[in-house]
């Protein structure tokens, strides 16, 4: 999947004019990419649109206008773009009670390596970069990439067409164990991502461009 390029990122004033439409479209897209894994973990599978919105929203929130700073944000968030035969997801560990959360996160240290996409019994374990791993506890927001085999990619594509394949997202850590079967809608989104990574897709045209829409999910 092609990284975000500078020419796709709008300036603050231009982004403000298209923001309501763009955000609504990407929020709808996120709905079909979100998976609850047990009661305290939610995963969002990322694609170019979700990453581009994060870039635009960060520039807007921080009022970033310097060219070097804009490029830094692009480079940072491009790490979330999945590569060939790869899935990228952001996992949120969500515990509302502060005391419970503060007790859980140290126990969950190392949970970054406990997430996996499992396709017909074959595990693709998630990995993050060393700089994102905290020494004494788990981060409440975890960025993961999973490298899939050709067999797993083919199974996901077949499942998106309606064939029967077991595809799950699971976490197996002493402090937290859960699994979730992926819905047909999520599988279809992943098949699109994997197909795009193998094709070398054309760009969406940026925040103001015509990336594919998928309709309202509410």
Q: How many angstroms separate the Cα of 187 from the Cα of each of 27, 104, 117, 168, 208? A: 18, 30, 11, 10, 27
Two tokens, residue 47: 């694609």
Coil, strand or helix at 60: helix
| Strand 115-119 with 122-127, pairing | antiparallel
Q: Taking a C-beta distance cutoff of 8 angstroms, is the pair 7, 206 a contact?
A: yes
Q: Is 129 helix (H, G, I), strand (E, B) or coil?
A: coil
Is residue 205 over pLDDT 90? no
Closest among 172, 115, 168 to 141, alpha carbons compared: 115
pLDDT tens digits, one per residue of 187-204: 999 999 998 766 654 445
Predicted confidence (pLDDT) per residue in 7-62, tens digit:
999 999 999 999 999 999 999 999 999 999 999 999 999 999 999 999 999 999 99
pLDDT at 169: 98
Q: What is the spatial distance between Cα 69 and Cα 198, in angstroms, rounded to a whole number?
A: 31
Are the beta carbons of 49 and 211 closer than 8 angstroms? yes
- What pLDDT digit, counting tens, does each position of 105-164 carry? 999 999 999 999 999 999 999 999 888 899 999 999 999 999 999 999 999 999 999 999
């Amino acid at each position: 999947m092609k990284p975000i390029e500078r020419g796709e990122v709008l300036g603050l004033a231009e982004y403000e004019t298209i923001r309501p439409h763009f955000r609504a479209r990407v929020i709808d897209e996120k709905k079909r990419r979100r998976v609850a894994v047990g009661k305290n973990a939610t995963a969002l599978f990322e694609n170019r649109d979700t990453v581009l919105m994060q870039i635009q929203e960060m520039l807007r929130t921080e009022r970033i206008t310097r060219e070097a700073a804009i490029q830094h944000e692009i480079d940072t968030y491009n790490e979330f773009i999945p590569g060939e035969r790869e899935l990228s997801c952001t996992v949120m560990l969500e515990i509302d009670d502060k005391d419970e959360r503060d007790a859980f996160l140290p126990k969950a240290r190392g949970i970054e390596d406990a997430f996996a996409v499992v396709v017909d019994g074959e595990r693709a374990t998630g990995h993050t970069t060393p700089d994102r791993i905290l020494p004494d506890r788990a981060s409440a927001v975890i960025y993961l990439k999973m490298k899939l085999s050709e067999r797993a990619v083919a199974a996901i594509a077949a499942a998106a067409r309606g064939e029967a394949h077991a595809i799950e997202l699971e976490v197996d850590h002493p402090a937290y164990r859960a699994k979730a079967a992926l819905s047909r809608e999520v599988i279809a989104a992943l098949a699109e991502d994997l197909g795009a990574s193998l094709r070398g897709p054309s760009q969406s045209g940026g925040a103001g461009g015509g990336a594919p829409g998928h309709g309202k999910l509410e």
